Amino acid sequence: MAELTYRDAVAAGIAQEMERDESVVFLGEDVAAAGGVFKATVGLLEKFGPRRVRDCPISEQAILGAAMGAAMTGLRPIAEIMFSDFLAVCWDIVANEIAKSRYMTNGQISLPLVIRTANGAGSRFGAQHSQAVENWAMMIPGIKVIAPAFPADVKGLLAAAVRDPDPVLFFEQKSLYPMKGEVPDGEYVDVLGKAKVLRRGGDCTIVALASMVHKSLDAADVLKKEHGIDCTVVDVRSLVPLDTQTILSEVGKTGRLFTVEENPRLCGWGAEIASIAAEECFWSLDAPIVRITTPHVPLPSADLLEDNTIPSVARIVREIRAKMD
């Protein structure tokens, strides 16, 4: 096991797949010579050369148009959209073209491509560069949606996404880039569509994604030590496919479900999980489902305001304790 940062795990996952398969190419804005604006792709240009690692103009439409064409003609492109907010600029290509081409051609066209993007708050970039938009992607049929919380998951899930025959949107939570964790050496491939139970407790189940996983784990420790509330924590990891079997199984054991979501409350991914839980394990629930979310507001850039907008450890503790009393 090597200890890597989340950002280094990105480069490791890409390098692993580019070494294994010459059809894997990588393109985006400032991803080659500069090593990415978040330094998540350092060394790839030197290792694989400008034919396979390409800097593109500042045009999200051009980046994804090129990636789509490359995938249609036999390559396996990895395309970077620098900030997930900028998916709005090229959403037609994502939602109407990439997501639907295989279906509309009855499988004659396959699009094995990965769209990587830095997602979420925590870096003080303001309303246009800090959004958590994974729920945008979750609602589009034809796209797989992944959001890892740990460096090992970054490498393994990114490798699985590259090998998948369908388009995958890969959300990297930008505030996690500096965090370190153990990552398996050598070739490592995880499985898309599988949640992980990181902590087990008998009182309630917390379901979280990306940076909210770490806050949920910290909150679970506080709840256990200070209030005697023992929580299960589930890392969703994959929104599409969604591992409902693992999630519902853990909810059924505790009878209480809390979702912790960075995205705004209206139409967040937790609402879908709450709906499924209400339908599939209603008689196992001992209390109403509770969603702990960012309010439905644009994110502020001021440190104090941003910290008070997205769910914090203290808020998670406070809300769970209030509902468990």
Domain residues of the chain, as ranges? Answer: 2-183, 196-324
- Is 299's pLDDT higher than 90? yes
User: For residues 6 and 29, what is the distance between their CA atoms, to the nearest angstrom?
Assistant: 20
Residue type at position 126: G
Q: Tokens at residue 227, please?
A: 């209030």
User: For residues 131 and 39, what is the distance between their CA atoms, to the nearest angstrom?
Assistant: 20
The per-residue pLDDT for 192 is 98
Helix and strand numbers (H, E) in the chain are 12, 14
* Mean pLDDT confidence for 96-106: 96
For domain 2-183, give its CATH number from 1.10.30.50, 3.40.50.300, 3.30.420.10, 3.40.50.970: 3.40.50.970
The per-residue pLDDT for 176 is 98
Based on its alpha-carbon atoms, the radius of gyration of the chain, rounded to whole angstroms, reads 19
Which one of 29, 60, 172, 262 is the catalytic residue?
A: 60
The per-residue pLDDT for 138 is 96
Q: Is residue 204 within 8 Å of residue 196, measured between CB atoms?
A: no
The dihedral formed by the CA atoms of 38, 24, 194 and 115, expressed in degrees to the nearest 10: 50
User: For residues 228 and 222, what is the distance between their CA atoms, to the nearest angstrom?
Assistant: 9
What pTM was computed for the model?
0.97
- Give me the percent of the chain exceeding a pLDDT of 90: 98
The per-residue pLDDT for 325 is 78
> Does the annotation count 306 as an active-site position?
no
> Does the annotation count 187 as an active-site position?
no
Per-residue pLDDT tens for 169-191? 999 999 999 999 999 999 999 99
Per-residue pLDDT tens for 192-204? 999 999 999 999 9
The per-residue pLDDT for 12 is 98
CATH number of 196-324: 3.40.50.920
User: For residues 209 and 249, what is the distance between their CA atoms, to the nearest angstrom?
Assistant: 18
Per-residue pLDDT tens for 246-287? 999 999 999 999 999 999 999 999 999 999 999 999 999 999
**Look-up: residue for tokens 């519902």?**
248
Which one of 17, 29, 80, 129 is the catalytic residue?
A: 129
The per-residue pLDDT for 1 is 85
CATH topology identical between 2-183 and 196-324? yes
